[in-house]
Chains A and B, each alone.
Chain A
Amino acid sequence: MMTRVSLKNVLSAVINQGAAEARAWIFGHQLNPAGNKTPHKILRMKLFGEKVAQWYPHDIKKDDPLVMARQEQERLSKLEMLKRRGKGPPKKGQGRRAAKRNK
């Protein structure tokens, strides 16, 4: 015995046929009926890298190669003096972190 399906129910069901896909197409949604993880959340974001970069003001020293060269020279000189006094950076494998690992 098959159960009779009424015409009203059939029509009600058919009206909503394909509504989800149509809604997604019209409003620009991303269909994900299974709830899987997708990168859509990140892709639909606006590009905000430039906005973040604007947080710090522009340093005009970086535009002058002479100034940057002099700073680099000073850094190297300071490093040389530290090494001479035995206060330079440690070699690989002899730092605090490496020693901790061995324990």
Chain B
Amino acid sequence: MRRTLVRNGSLYTRNLLHHSALALAASSRPQFRLFSSNENPPPVPQIDDVNNKELKAQIETYFKGDEKVLPSIMEAILKRKLSGNHEDTDDELMEELRMRPLDDVDDRDFESDFESIHDTDEEIDDLYNARDVVMKRMVKDEYFNMDDKKWDDIVEDGIKHGLLRDTKECEEILEDMLSWDKLLPDDIKQKVEVKFNELGDMCERGELEPEEAYEQFKKFEDEIVAKYLDKMEKEEASQFDDTVVPDKKKDLDDPPGEGPILRWQTRVVFAPGGDAWHPKNRKVKLSVTVKELGLSKYQFRRLRELVGKRYHPGRDELTITSERFEHREENRKDCLRTLLSLIEEAGKANKLVDDARSSYVKERLHTNPAFMERLHAKSMRLRESNQVPA
């Protein structure tokens, strides 16, 4: 009974406090206006007081069995509290009530209250038969005890029957819901925040009603969303324009053919010690396809004469090996130097051939008597013609 009294009292007290708050607000506003109009405020209206006899009578009625009197009792108590004239009497009354035991308590109230607050599942009579109970529940409810296989079957059914048409779109929507705070860019968030704070300040200052502020904020939000959608459409269009433009790169510095021109072979020995040097790491082997060098016929023959066995005719491959120095990189430099020297030396063949051909032709002409006779006569005539002006 005491708990019921306290619970019902608290409920009614909330309502009374709410109404009294409204009354206080209503009363405070005209006071404010009167102050602004520079007039003397009228005295606060006095609240009606309740006598001890009246309160005692009401309490007696409640204890006799009439529960409808409780709100009026609470109102009376509040009135006496606000008036502040009966503090001692009320304290004595509270002490008296606390000491007094309560006889008639209804269990039904407790049970109804408990059941309404805490909902529990159906009770299982025989716990030793839990398997059968679970099977029955799975038969009754399709979504009981869900697992991945069941979920996949449901999704498959949905796709077959056409209920779930675009799962990709669903996934995108779910991802957006999961990370909803990352959908909009930061500048739009800042704009919305600034607007919200501005409207909040106006509400606090009293310049705007909350409903009107909410309407303005909603309008602003719709405008922002519309702008963002337009921006996204423009960006998509620009993306399409970018993709449509074909890729034209004509100035490629990659030489034609497959693979590199210089092929290096080296050995790397991983020794257990800290020093990475090992005698086997020294040797370097360089292979070149002679066709890649672009030599003429005579140059090629001279190259073959120079390199000897280093040239492999079957693979058209020239191999240069060096292990002269202690470090691999020095040997690589030596290989390159050797290759360049060979190319330069082979290139001399053209000049030698031209000189030889010229000397051969001159010798042949020199041994021809008819040509020599005509040459001699011509030179004599030239000499005579030169002497005449002298």
Binding site for B on A (CB under 8 A): 2, 7, 10-12, 14-17, 19, 22-23, 25-28
Given known A15-B305, A16-B305, A19-B302, contact A26–B356 (CB-CB < 8 A)? no
Residues of B within 8 A of A10 (CB): 356-357, 360
A12 CB → nearest B CB, Å? 8
Contacts of A17 in B (CB 8 A): 352
Inter-subunit contact A26/B345 (CB<8 Å): yes
Q: What is the CA–CA distance of A15 and B351 in the complex, to the nearest angstrom? A: 10
Q: Is B1 an interface residue (CB 8 A)?
A: no
- Interface bits B281-313 vs A (CB < 8 Å: 1, else 0): 000000000000000001001100111100000
- CB of B342 within 8 Å of the partner chain: yes
Contacting residues, chain B, for A15 (C-beta < 8 A): 298, 301-302, 305, 349, 352-353
Q: Which of A7, A11, A19 contacts B298 (CB 8 A)?
A: A11
Shortest Cβ distance from residue A28 to the other chain B in the assembled complex, whole angstroms: 8
Can you name the residue of chain A whose Cβ is closest to the Cβ of B349? A15
By secondary structure, the A interface counts as helix
Q: Which of A11, A22, A23 contacts B356 (CB 8 A)?
A: A11
Verify B341–A26 contact, CB threshold 8 A: yes
A27 — which chain B residues lie within 8 A by C-beta?
Answer: 338
Return B103 CB to nearest CB of chain A, in Å: 112
Q: Report the bound CA distance from A15 to B355 in whole Å.
A: 11
- How many A-B residue pairs have C-beta atoms within 8 angstroms? Tell me: 41
- Answer whether A11 and B353 are a contact pair too, CB < 8 Å, given A26-B341, A27-B338: yes
Q: Which chain B positions have C-beta within 8 A of A23? A: 306-308
- Could you tell me the distance between the alpha carbons of A7 and B158 in the complex, rounded to whole angstroms? 92
Contact of A22 among B308, B324, B345, B357 (CB under 8 A): B345
B binding-site residues for A, Cβ under 8 Å: 298, 301-302, 305-308, 324, 338, 341-342, 345, 349, 352-353, 355-357, 360, 367
> Is the pair B342, A11 in contact by a Cβ cutoff of 8 Å?
no
Separation of A8 and B42 alpha carbons in the complex (Å):
139
Known: A10-B360, A11-B353. 16 other contacts (CB 8 A): A7-B357, A7-B360, A10-B356, A10-B357, A11-B356, A15-B301, A15-B353, A16-B302, A16-B305, A19-B306, A22-B306, A23-B307, A23-B308, A25-B341, A26-B342, A28-B324
Q: Closest residue to A12 on the B side, CB-wise?
A: B301
Question: Which of A11, A14, A26, A28 contacts B306, CB < 8 Å?
Answer: A26
A22 → chain B, closest Cβ, in Å?
A: 5
Set of chain A residues within 8 Å of B305, measured between Cβ atoms: 15-16, 19
A15 CB → nearest B CB, Å: 5
In the assembled complex, which residues on chain A have CB atoms less than 8 Å from the CB atom of B338? 26-27
CB proximity of B347 to chain A, nearest CB, Å: 11
**Residues A11 and B357 in contact, CB atoms below 8 Å apart:** yes
The distance in angstroms between the C-alpha atoms of A10 and B338, with both chains bound, is 29
A2 to B367, CA, bound (A): 10
A7 CA to B357 CA, complexed, in Å: 7
- Taking each of A15, A16, A22, A23, which has the highest tally of chain B beta carbons within 10 Å of its own beta carbon? A15
Once bound together, how far apart are the Cα atoms of A26 and B335, in whole Å? 11
How far is the CB of A8 from the nearest CB of chain B, in Å? 10
Q: Choose one: B341, B345, B352, B367; the contact of A14 (CB below 8 Å).
A: B352
27 A-B pairs in the complex with CB atoms less than 8 angstroms apart: A2-B367, A7-B357, A7-B360, A10-B356, A10-B360, A11-B298, A12-B301, A14-B352, A14-B353, A14-B355, A15-B298, A15-B301, A15-B302, A15-B349, A15-B352, A15-B353, A16-B302, A16-B305, A17-B352, A19-B305, A19-B306, A22-B306, A23-B306, A23-B307, A26-B306, A26-B342, A27-B338
For B367, list chain A residues within 8 Å (CB).
2
A95–B352 Cα distance when bound, in Å, is: 75
In the A-B complex, the 5 residue pairs with the smallest Cβ-Cβ separation, listed nearest first, are A14-B356, A26-B341, A19-B305, A22-B345, A16-B305
Nearest-neighbour CB distance to chain B for A7, whole angstroms, equals 6
Nearest chain A CB to B167's CB is how many angstroms away? Answer: 72
